[in-house]
Structure 1
Amino acid sequence: MEPSETERGQSREWRREKRVNVGPAERKASVVGGAALAVSGLRCISKRNYASGLAMMIAGGMFLYRGQTGHCGIYDAMGVDTVHTHNSALTITKAVTIGLPPQDVYEFWRNLENLPRFMRHLESVQVTGARTSHWKAVGPGGISAEWDAEMMEDVPGQQISWHSVGEADVPNKGSVEFKEAPGHRGTEVKVSIDYYPPGGGAGKVAAKLAQGINAQQLEEDLKRLKQILEVGEETTARRTVE
């Protein structure tokens, strides 16, 4: 199915958007520091120290932009991403080949509310904005977790990436790539997800939830995705939590 003109326009807007590559703590510090510099700049200008005042206001504006948008041009040039700076990430990567064109597979995944249909640990995903969504997950023993997520990249037919924002029960980030399979066999779908269990009691909850989110589970999830898209069927077996 060819994307509509509206969808093409939205895709162009997505590509123009700047990728979030500054972590939450840095964003807060940038806003505070930027505001302080701007105020200092105004004071200098009021004392007719125009050169220093203008320089401070420009620097303050740059820091405010960095904090409000979460994007840093210097980080982009250096290939740096501090959205997640945790050292104890649980990284899961799996791939599957699906007998459909990349655009078709992308469109199914891009509707984030489809994800719980094949990802067993997800209870629901609710789209809350053009780039934002709210996720609910369930793990062994009825352990549950929720978080808000923000999309970082959205390249139609090629890639989607996201990361959790705010006070997430289980901080995480992930990406999915859609590439044409060799021999025109369909689409190679590669999924990579990083989970960052927080410390304290929340960390224990996250660790228990992670027991149900592993490489084997992700592989089974992708097999369900393949079944849904190729056969038009999905398992109706009720989810069981050990």
Structure 2
Amino acid sequence: METSATEQSRAYRGQSRQKRVNVGPGERKASMAGGAALALSGLWSIGRRNYLSGLAMIASGGMLLYRGQTGHCGMYEAMGVDTVHTQGSGLRIEKVVTIGLPPHQVYEFWRHLDNLPRFMKHLESVQVTGERTSHWKAVGPGGLSTEWDAEMMEDTPGQQISWHSVGSADIPNKGTVEFKEAPGNRGTEVRVSIDYYPPGGTAGRAAMKIAHGLNAQQLEEDLKRLKQILEVGEETTARRTA
């Protein structure tokens, strides 16, 4: 029993270390370079008896060096941001919720894609267009709307669904939702990871405004609504905010 507990503890610590890495390789290199430069500038300032500014620069440099060395950013963690698994200017948001129902039941609800607008606040509609394809419409600030087509990449009943946008999507994106049995027979642990690639330029202003509203807090609220619908059988009556 003690050996098993020790192994579980080690596995947990290993998972914790893995989850802490949320800064991409490019950012880590930039943090290391910027941190070293700040620290050297701080030492130079102290040498000139500018103690307060020097210490402040050293402290800031140390934080950047830590960020680059460990690949962990506390602000990113609080915001639910992960730039390790995205490319370019992409942004990853990830949230987890536990729902008191078996995995296959939660999966079945999500698999019927027209259910998604019931709990995802930014979605106006999702129309199934084929066995693995669908058409999505999202709304954002000021009533702005954007649309895209999506294709399902993986569909493992009761376990996982993955999708990505196809064609000339206003907001290129991809996502994965996993359904796992929660510890202690508490139901299903639903983990959602979504990567957005907000467009640039003036042509994509509407899409950019909508994309900026798709954040970790929004996803967390969406998953709370999903939990309420499945466990209580009631939908949140709050209207979408413009």
TM-score by length of 1: 0.63
Q: Any residues of structure 2 matched to 1:39-50 within 5 Å, and which? A: none
Whether 2:149 is the aligned partner of 1:148: answer yes
One-letter amino acid of the counterpart of residue 186, structure 1: G
Q: Tell me by how many angstroms 1:171 deviates.
A: 0.4
Does the 8 Å contact 1:170/1:206 carry over to 2? yes
CA deviation vs aligned residue, 1:183-206 (integer Å, no higher than 9, x gap):
000000000001111222244322
Does the C-alpha gap of structure 1 residues 109 and 199 become closer, same or farther in structure 2, counting only changes over 3 Å? Answer: same
Does the C-alpha gap of structure 1 residues 210 and 85 become closer, same or farther in structure 2, counting only changes over 3 Å? Answer: closer
- Which residue is equivalent to 2:189? 188
Count of residue pairs the alignment pairs up: 158
Secondary structure at the aligned position of 2:150 is classed as: strand
- Give the distance between the partners of 2:162 and 2:202, measured in 1 at CA: 29
- Which residue is equivalent to 1:118? 119
- Which residue is equivalent to 1:169? 170
Does the C-alpha gap of structure 1 residues 216 and 152 become closer, same or farther in structure 2, counting only changes over 3 Å? Answer: same
TM-score by length of 2: 0.63
Secondary structure at the aligned position of 1:209 is classed as: helix
Does the C-alpha gap of structure 1 residues 85 and 186 become closer, same or farther in structure 2, counting only changes over 3 Å? Answer: closer
Note the aligned Cα RMSD (angstroms).
1.4
Whether 2:128 is the aligned partner of 1:127: answer yes
CA deviation vs aligned residue, 1:188-239 (integer Å, no higher than 9, x gap):
0000001111222244322211232110010000000000000000112221
- Which residue is equivalent to 2:98? 97
One-letter amino acid of the counterpart of residue 215, structure 1: A
- Which residue is equivalent to 2:223? 222
Q: Which moved more, 1:130-139 or 1:204-213?
A: 204-213
Runs of 4+ in 1 over 3 A off after TM superposition: none
Long gaps (5+) in structure 2: 1-84
Long gaps (5+) in structure 1: 1-83
Q: Tell me by how many angstroms 1:150 deviates.
A: 0.1
